[in-house]
Amino acid sequence: TNMFCKSKESYKYYSELKTAASVSSEHIGQQFPNLFYIKFHRQTTETGDGIEEPIFIRDKYSKGITFGTFDLFHYGHNNILARCKNFCNYLYIGLSSDELNERKGKNSVDNYEKRKEVIECANLGDEIFKEESLEQKNDYVIQTGAEILMMGDDWIGAFDWVSCDVLYMERTPNISTTLLKTMMKILPQEV
């Protein structure tokens, strides 16, 4: 899975592990791409001669968060939520309110309750809450205690300002709500 992290150092670490993995899977226990739950967390250890050495801890995050409209839920949505879930033990999904969609000029086909119900059926998140405003991203991060915010790579760089780690993951190609909406318009009306 392609991923982009807020910290260059973490990304370098990830790439190095990936190279090591192609030589020996022993080093990290698993072959890529299965290893997509790295906690990019630095900790320093005292070496014998008193020099502090950084080491990376590799672990799942305990809480993660993602956001979206998830209108006309499709396999791209399912795919990203499944990957988010692989990075954390507890996944919060900030589902945009109908008012927020309207403000963005992107009215959803399904209303908030319907979109929420469909995500619940997919059973990939642990808690769904209403996202009322884009600017409040960091407030949601703080309120939930999320340690990582995950989004599709159409958002690269957009949320680097939040206080937790950020990960942008590759979008699933050739599917989007926009595409589905377009297709709905060209199909004949229901009889």
* From 13-21, 97-105, 140-148, 150-158, span contacting ligand CTP (CB under 6 A): 150-158
Catalytic residue among 60, 106, 130, 181: 106
Torsional sign, CA 152, 154, 157, 162: negative
- DSSP 3-state assignment of 85? helix
Catalytic residue among 104, 130, 181, 185: 104
Q: Give the interface size with ligand CTP as a residue count (CB under 6 A).
A: 16
Token pair listed for 35: 């290893």
Concerning whether 116 is annotated as a catalytic residue, the answer is no
Q: Does 70 bind ligand CTP (CB under 6 A)?
A: yes
* From 7-15, 32-40, 97-105, 147-155, span contacting ligand CTP (CB under 6 A): 147-155
Residues in 166-185 that interact with ligand CTP by CB under 6 A: 171-172, 175-178
Torsional sign, CA 134, 62, 153, 83: negative
CB-neighbour burial class of residue 118 (10 A; exposed 0-12, middle 13-18, buried 19+): middle
Residues 6+ apart with CB under 8 A from 75: 172, 175
Residues in 73-112 that interact with ligand CTP by CB under 6 A: 76-77, 80, 106
Q: Which residues bind ligand CTP (CB under 6 A)?
A: 68-70, 76-77, 80, 106, 151-152, 154, 171-172, 175-178
The catalytic site residues sit at: 104, 106
